[in-house]
Structures are given as C-alpha cells and as structure tokens.
A = this chain, B = another copy of it.
Amino acid sequence: MILYGAPSPAPNPRRVRMFLAEKGIDLPETPLDLRKREHKAPEFKAKNSLGQVPALELDDGAVIAETVAICRYFEETHPEPPLFGRTALEKAQVDMWVRRIEFQLMTPVGMFWRHAHPLTAALIAQHKDFGESNRDHVAGGMRWLDRELEGKTFIAGDDFTMADICALSTVDFAHWIGLDIPDECANLKAWHERVSARPSAQA
C-alpha cells in the first residue's frame, strides 16, 4: 500500500496523516515534490488522472483519490476509534459537517489562494477582484462556525471527528496564506487550541 502525499502546508495530505495518527495506523507517506510538478507527471496521472495528492494505491493496484474517500477507506478497515460517527444519525451529521467545512470554509480559502495569492499568480491566470472578495467569505464562514461551536467541544458534537480534521487543516492553511480567525471568534479560537493540542495535529 502506497500513500502519495506532500509535506505541509498542503492541507489535504495533512488531513490523511492526521486521520492515520488518530487511528494509530502506521503508514508512512510517500511525498511528491509539488514544486517539481511530480503530481502532474504522466506516471502519477496514470494513477490519479486529476494529478492531485493525496492518493492511496492498494497492493492490487486499485487507487483511491480524494482525501475524505481515502480516510473513509481506513474507517472501514480500522473502525476504532470511529471518526465518521457510529449511528446512522451520527454518520450523516459528520458527513454534513465535513461538507459544510469544505463548502463554507475550504472553498473560499481555496479561491483566495488560487485567484489572489502572489504564490499562485505565476502558475495560473487569476481573477484578482474575485479572489480578494473571498476574504469576506472566509471571515463570514469563520464567524458562522464560531456561532455553531457555542457550547460544543468538537464540530460535530462531543466526539472528535473527521470534521475537526478538515476544519483544522483549513484554518491553519488559511493562516498560512494570511487569512486569520477574526478576533471576536472566541469559540473558534478555543476549539483551535483544543484540537491543535492533540498529538495528531503534528502529523
């Protein structure tokens, strides 16, 4: 089994590393050099046609791409501790929160990164006004998440789940590109301290 990834600050490979650390699964990452465009090389695109990391290659050659799908595979093969919920309702609510984090927070962070950040300007055609407009969407998404965290320990409730992994890597990547948690978001800041203190956050 080969787990293709890339070092931080790439947020998606970190999610898989955190997930494996929380599960106690020992599977070292095989890093690709994104600056050398190794993820766009024909040999790798034969495994994942989108040329993205992470990707998990099983021993029989089957490949699973997409961060959350890779983690879901390990949830099935290593159910404990559950990170996608136990009951039908919990499973649905963890999935709901993963999606909310992706669409409300990761999407505008990604759009700012692609369309407004100087590091990507050299690589792709940017729509700078649109990119800059995502600053407000990111701040708005963080304020919404802050309200939703009122009285809760973790994003989906009492238990640490995949939703926390997705949110932590998003908030940390946002910080790395200059988009910080708004000062007034006390719940979100407390949650961030709480999850950052877990050993898996170092993965």
Contacts and interface: CB of A to CB of B under 8 A. Distances in A.
Interface stretch (A34-42, A60-68, A181-189, A192-200): A60-68
A66 B100 contact: yes
Given A95-B68, A99-B69, A104-B50, A89 B130 contact: no
A66 B93 CA distance: 9
Query: How many protomers of this protein does the assembly include?
Result: 2
Interface stretch (A16-24, A25-33, A70-78, A168-176): A70-78
A152 interface: no
Q: Which size class do A's interface residues fall under? A: 35 or more
Contacts of A95: 66, 68-69, 72
Interface string A72-112: 11001100000000011101110110011000100100000
Interface in A104-144: 104, 107, 115, 125, 127, 129-130, 133, 144
Interface in A147-174: 147-148
Contacts of A62: 89, 93
A49 interface: yes
A89 B104 contact: no
